[in-house]
Chain A
Amino acid sequence: MDFFAHIVTGFSIAGTWTNLFFCFVGVFFGTLVGVLPGIGPLATMAILLPVTFGMPPTTAIIMLSGIYYGAYYGGSTTSILVNIPGEAASVITSLDGYKMALDGRAGPALGIAAFGSFIAGTLGLIALQAVSPALVTVALKFGAPEYFSLMILGLIALTFLAEKSMIKALMVAAVGVILGTIGLDSMTGASRFTFDIPDLMDGIGIVPMAMGLFGITEIFLNLEKQIQRSVMYAKLTGLLPSFQDWMDSKWAILRGTVVGFGLGMLPGGGGVIASFASYAVEKMCSKHPEKFGYGAIQGVAGPESANNAAASAGFVPLLTLGIPVGAVQAILLGALMIHGITPGPMLLQQHPDVFWGVIASMYIGNVMLLILNLPLIGLWVKILKIPYGLLFPMILFFCIIGAYTVNNSTMDVAIMLLFGVVGYLMKKLNYEPAPMILAFVLSPILERSLRQSLLMSSGSFKIFFTAPISLGCLILAAVLLILPLLPGIRKKREEIVSMEEDAS
């Protein structure tokens, strides 16, 4: 009964004209940046974050979430039609999707990607609604030691799942923790690494940091190579998949949803890993694995379903535990905190409007995307033809204004530039910046829970091993640290990495 009452509440909030409008704005911009290579959902969310300051918190999160899941839809369109994945999670879709387009089956490929995304997104939301209240009940039992161990597990899981070199990822995560301590110490009032700069007293802002690490870095990397886009527009015939297409894809969509939702809840999992894992699962389950890479519709349906289910799943730990599983969720966490809302177990009780309103908006957003995407495919392909030389100065300019307007301070623009350069150098040296931003966001919670735990136990680290939940998290973290040392696991990781590199 409660379940339906919450759905009704959610839809009454998400269904207001204002929220519908900003949901549309979010999914439209999301699709747009999903189409365009060189700017991702993360940079867009960071750029548009200052625009949300004047909005009610629910509206702000509805719009930002729309950008996130909308980007996955947009990414698949260009992957299939022109073999240019605008978004990392759609890289694998291009393998079979583009081949289908070349064989004159672009319509069914786009159709199954859109319907698969819609089905997986919707099933993911139902699972999110079902899992979240149960998880909140558990999370309410969490004390400082449990939170500390959970943060450690989160950081290690992120580095285990997402990176080529776990050592480098752990190093980057530790740097993120250090950066998160900059500013006034909330317990003692001491200023840390502020160099007497007033703008640093509150610490480094997540907006300029994210814009630098993801937006500016991407621009710098694109500028040093010649981007040549040959946009071959495969002719579209009939967007609706045939009965046989549905029969061939139904299990792929369901398996993709399960794989995507499961991986999407884990730190570092996200849409990229989910889509690659789903592709591997489909190839394994298929009676004709040799057809993969040559236009197998399951190779489109599975990954596209998986990345959308992962997008829904990422909200579970964010909204229930206050833990972002990736950089995108870190931005959403930052946005909620800017609006005075702390995500976590209390969110459901203190701000049910935000919780249920955002979830309901995602149902609406998925429908909007389905209606939007198929008729607008021609427009998205035209947008792809915009030369990068015209596009990047605009992105850069709006990044600068966006960073400035957060605090009306040029210091934030300087910080954005600094992290842009740092991110560029990191990428050149094969260090991924994502663990840095996640650790940066988790750092204050990590520090507070560590200090509180040690105060509670009079300085004994035993406290982390006596509480069952805490011990469970630490054991799991230790397993994740040891696993890559096993030859079988190491080989699998290397295979996935090389598969990612080949696809991109």
Chain B
Amino acid sequence: MNAERVGGLVGFAFGAVVMFGTYHLGLGTLQAPGSGFLGFLAGAFVMLMALLVLVQTYLGRGNQTKLSALWKDTTWWRPATVAFLILLYVLAMERLGFLLTSLLFMLVIFKWVERFPWLKAIVVTSSAVAFAHLLFRIFLKAPLPQGIVGF
């Protein structure tokens, strides 16, 4: 499918959802606008602009690239992997604690995403986490989570 059309459709759907949600929040009146007033107008505007993008694609204007072509000849799996690892970090940080989660996170990136040799990956990971520990926990006294292991 045409990439521009996908963008337009996503925008159109987003605008529609916002209009629906803000309508239920209450639009109020012109004399006393409610909580959903501005959001409703902005949602309608997003839908209108998305519609213009869609119309342009049918008129053959603008970029005609296919969606799949945007990822052709790219190593798309690398950003996808890193995004997944950040998600795991978010889920694990408060349970496992800052130090353990960070060590695992950085080690996985250096060893398996960047394919560093073991020794280099361990040295770089430990240095980065130790520096962050010193800077944020010791120097700036940021209350980073300790987790079940207690550090």
Alpha-carbon distance A451/B36, docked complex (angstroms) = 11
Question: Is A228 an interface position by the 8 A CB rule?
Answer: no
**Are the C-beta atoms of B46 and A171 separated by less than 8 Å?**
yes
Q: Which residue of B lies closest to A54 (CB)?
A: B140
**Are the C-beta atoms of A165 and B90 separated by less than 8 Å?**
no
**Are the C-beta atoms of B37 and A429 separated by less than 8 Å?**
no
**Are the C-beta atoms of B46 and A224 separated by less than 8 Å?**
no
- Which residues of chain A have C-beta atoms less than 8 A from B109's C-beta? 393, 396
The A-contacting residues of B in range 31-52, CB under 8 angstroms, are 31-39, 42-43, 45-46, 49-50, 52
- CB of A188 to closest CB in B, whole Å: 5
**Are the C-beta atoms of A181 and B53 separated by less than 8 Å?**
no
Alpha-carbon distance A136/B31, docked complex (angstroms) = 31
**Are the C-beta atoms of B82 and A396 separated by less than 8 Å?**
yes
Question: Is A498 an interface position by the 8 A CB rule?
Answer: no
The B-contacting residues of A in range 217-261, CB under 8 angstroms, are 219-221, 223-226
- CB of B103 to closest CB in A, whole Å: 11
Q: Name A174's contact: one of B6, B45, B110 (CB within 8 Å).
A: B45
**Are the C-beta atoms of A459 and B45 separated by less than 8 Å?**
no
Question: Is B66 an interface position by the 8 A CB rule?
Answer: no
Q: Name B38's contact: one of A170, A408, A447 (CB within 8 Å).
A: A447
Alpha-carbon distance A408/B116, docked complex (angstroms) = 32
Question: Is A394 an interface position by the 8 A CB rule?
Answer: yes
- Which residues of chain A have C-beta atoms less than 8 A from B35's C-beta? 185, 187-188, 190, 192
The B interface, classified by DSSP as helix, strand, loop or mixed, is: helix
- CB of B129 to closest CB in A, whole Å: 8
- Which residues of chain B have C-beta atoms less than 8 A from A389's C-beta? 114, 116
Alpha-carbon distance A421/B82, docked complex (angstroms) = 11
A203-216 vs B, CB cutoff 8 Å, 1 = contact: the mask equals 00000000000001
- Which residues of chain A have C-beta atoms less than 8 A from B144's C-beta? 401, 404-405
- Which residues of chain A have C-beta atoms less than 8 A from B89's C-beta? 400, 413
B92-127 vs A, CB cutoff 8 Å, 1 = contact: the mask equals 011000000010011001100010100000001000
Q: Which residue of B lies closest to A190 (CB)?
A: B35
- CB of A390 to closest CB in B, whole Å: 7
**Are the C-beta atoms of B45 and A181 separated by less than 8 Å?**
no
**Are the C-beta atoms of A398 and B132 separated by less than 8 Å?**
yes
Alpha-carbon distance A455/B86, docked complex (angstroms) = 46
**Are the C-beta atoms of B42 and A177 separated by less than 8 Å?**
yes
Alpha-carbon distance A179/B51, docked complex (angstroms) = 20
Alpha-carbon distance A216/B85, docked complex (angstroms) = 13
Question: Is B128 an interface position by the 8 A CB rule?
Answer: yes
**Are the C-beta atoms of B78 and A168 separated by less than 8 Å?**
no
Q: Which residue of A lies closest to B82 (CB)?
A: A223
Alpha-carbon distance A29/B84, docked complex (angstroms) = 30
- Which residues of chain B have C-beta atoms less than 8 A from A171's C-beta? 11, 45-46, 49-50, 53
Question: Is A72 an interface position by the 8 A CB rule?
Answer: no
The B-contacting residues of A in range 380-423, CB under 8 angstroms, are 389-390, 393-394, 396-398, 400-401, 404-405, 408, 410, 413-414, 417, 420-421
- Which residues of chain B have C-beta atoms less than 8 A from A216's C-beta? 86
Alpha-carbon distance A398/B142, docked complex (angstroms) = 13
**Are the C-beta atoms of A393 and B34 separated by less than 8 Å?**
no
Alpha-carbon distance A226/B73, docked complex (angstroms) = 10
Question: Is A71 an interface position by the 8 A CB rule?
Answer: no
Alpha-carbon distance A141/B14, docked complex (angstroms) = 38
Question: Is A288 an interface position by the 8 A CB rule?
Answer: no
Alpha-carbon distance A164/B137, docked complex (angstroms) = 44
**Are the C-beta atoms of B79 and A424 separated by less than 8 Å?**
yes
Question: Is B138 an interface position by the 8 A CB rule?
Answer: no
Q: Name A401's contact: one of B43, B94, B132 (CB within 8 Å).
A: B132
- CB of A410 to closest CB in B, whole Å: 5
- CB of B32 to closest CB in A, whole Å: 7
Alpha-carbon distance A389/B120, docked complex (angstroms) = 12
Q: Name A225's contact: one of B25, B75, B82, B83 (CB within 8 Å).
A: B75
Alpha-carbon distance A227/B21, docked complex (angstroms) = 43
- Which residues of chain B have C-beta atoms less than 8 A from A178's C-beta? 18, 39, 42-43, 46
| Cross-chain pairs A/B with CB under 8 angstroms, 30 sampled | A167-B53, A171-B45, A178-B46, A185-B35, A190-B35, A221-B79, A223-B78, A223-B79, A390-B114, A393-B110, A396-B82, A397-B128, A400-B89, A401-B136, A401-B144, A405-B136, A405-B142, A408-B143, A413-B89, A413-B90, A413-B93, A417-B86, A420-B83, A429-B70, A430-B4, A454-B30, A454-B32, A455-B31, A455-B33, A459-B30
Further 16 A-B residue pairs, CB within 8 A, beyond A171-B50, A424-B79, A455-B33: A171-B49, A175-B46, A178-B42, A181-B42, A192-B36, A219-B79, A223-B78, A223-B79, A224-B71, A389-B116, A393-B128, A397-B128, A397-B132, A420-B83, A421-B83, A450-B33
